[in-house]
Structure 1
Amino acid sequence: MSNTPPTISDEHYRLAERIWDYHRMGHDLRPVDVAVVLGCHDLGVAACAAKLYQAGFFARMVLTGGNSPSTAEVFPRGEAVHYRQHVLDLGVPDEAVLVEPRAANTGQNITLSRQLLAEAGLAPATVMLVTMPYMQRRAYATTRRVWPEVTVVCASEPVGFRDYLAGIGDDRLVIDTMVGDLQRVIEYPDRGFAVEQHVPDDVRAAYRALVDAGFTSRLIGA
């Protein structure tokens, strides 16, 4: 692995888009009992949740997330707290929102949200995971492991790869994070953190090429 931040070439973008396409689950959206909205550096996830609520896909949502190295400066009060303010500003009523402000990883996002819902007297049979587009598969695999009795649907902002990069404004952060998420999709089943997901050969090849090129800042232990 290279320790030097790589210059992003056209080939790197092509490989990254292959991984982007793999991470998106392509689920057909349908009404569910509750949404779990996973915090991150992208406030667009909260905006997407507000639109889905207003479209009638669910009546309650859990906003989950504390802080991580990539969000502490952007959301100093914590991801879920900032998400709450954003969905309220977009017209979601306060009574539709539950806030889970402690989760530090995807497993905690799900387990702590489940706990919060139970404390509120809610036992959903169907859950919509609202995430960044490239976090869908990891969130899905994690939920199937730690909350297997619910039916899961994944949702994200409907945006293409290049438009998403333009909206975030930090191409390297996005590509590094996608590579890190794919590593977790591959390795976490053996650690008991997620269910197994088939990873096609071309996606594995894209992953290896980007790791070799130095897109490694979000790998486990980096």
Structure 2
Amino acid sequence: MISAQVWADAERLWDFQQMGHELRPCSVAIGLGSHDLGVADTTADLYHRSMVPLIVFTGATSRTTRDRMPRGEAEHYRERAMELGVPADAILVEPRARNTGENIRFSRALLEERHVPVSSVLLVSKPYEERRAYATACKLWPEVEWVNASTNMTLVQYVKSIGDARLVIDMLTGAQQRLMIYPQQGFMIKQSVPGDVAAAYQRLCDAGFTGRLVPDTGARN
């Protein structure tokens, strides 16, 4: 059972992780691979709304996706987007990335290899990883403007769509941890974390939602 306090803390992190950017047309969309095909759905919708002329789907597999997406996250995303009517020639696949930093670096290299001019990027992620993705992208590719996007839904709606509350809260807690510790390691730009967000994160760690924390850093980092 998920307690009322856990839900409240998870919702505070959920709200904080979302950037609230106003969507606008960009040079390209980058869809970050994960277990959530909703990222592909949202990216396809942005294409159909003429927000971007080109999509890059990026991602290999992880422990969460190796069974569900054996051909790789980016390839499964591509197939999903094509089912939704996106033409094949509007999609590039980056199949090697295994973390957010590699998603950005490898996508940039692919676009440069294809001589695609990029001044702005619609960065599409899971809803609870918008801020983490933004902070990483700004660090690794500061020359472009980043606009974050994700599926518009509440935490409760998202948990129902995934079907596993513990997995979602574990991953939400892990995303928050990275946002707090990775800037000092040079992986992303620093984001100011309000005190109530830090406190909610710590309570979730103390409640045992540590399955996606970076190993050997300790829950109190």
**Alignment TM-score, normalising by the size of structure 2:** 0.96
**Secondary structure of the corresponding residue to residue 192 of structure 2:** coil
C-alpha distance in structure 2 between counterparts of 1:153 and 1:164, whole Å: 21
AA paired with 1:194?
Answer: M
What is aligned with 1:137? Answer: 131
C-alpha distance in structure 2 between counterparts of 1:170 and 1:193, whole Å: 29
C-alpha distance in structure 1 between counterparts of 2:124 and 2:214, whole Å: 23
C-alpha distance in structure 2 between counterparts of 1:161 and 1:105, whole Å: 23
AA paired with 2:24?
Answer: R
What is aligned with 1:11? Answer: 5
C-alpha distance in structure 2 between counterparts of 1:13 and 1:125, whole Å: 39
**Alignment TM-score, normalising by the size of structure 1:** 0.96
| Corresponding position: 1:85 with 2:79 | yes
Structure-to-structure mapping, 1:138-153, within 5 angstroms: 138-153=132-147
* Matched residue count: 216
Select 2:21's aligned residue among 27, 40, 44.
Answer: 27
Select 2:30's aligned residue among 22, 33, 36.
Answer: 36
| Corresponding position: 1:154 with 2:148 | yes
What is aligned with 1:197? Answer: 191
Determine what percentage of the aligned residue pairs are the same residue: 51
What is aligned with 1:163? Answer: 157
Structure 2 residue ranges without an equivalent (≥5)? 217-221
AA paired with 1:155?
Answer: A
AA paired with 1:64?
Answer: T
**Secondary structure of the corresponding residue to residue 153 of structure 1:** strand
What is aligned with 2:46? Answer: 52
C-alpha distance in structure 1 between counterparts of 2:104 and 2:127, whole Å: 17
C-alpha distance in structure 2 between counterparts of 1:102 and 1:87, whole Å: 19
C-alpha distance in structure 2 between counterparts of 1:71 and 1:13, whole Å: 25
C-alpha distance in structure 2 between counterparts of 1:44 and 1:145, whole Å: 26
AA paired with 2:108?
Answer: R
Structure 1 residue runs of 4+, over 3 Å off?
none
- What do residues 61-101 of structure 1 show as CA deviations (whole Å, max 9, x unaligned)? 10000011111111011100100100001000011000000
Deviation at 1:123, TM superposition (A): 2.7
What is aligned with 1:186? Answer: 180
What is aligned with 1:214? Answer: 208
C-alpha distance in structure 2 between counterparts of 1:41 and 1:178, whole Å: 14
- What do residues 21-53 of structure 1 show as CA deviations (whole Å, max 9, x unaligned)? 000000000000000100000001100000010
| Corresponding position: 1:62 with 2:32 | no
C-alpha distance in structure 1 between counterparts of 2:7 and 2:68, whole Å: 26
Structure 1 residue ranges without an equivalent (≥5)? 1-6
Deviation at 1:8, TM superposition (A): 1.6
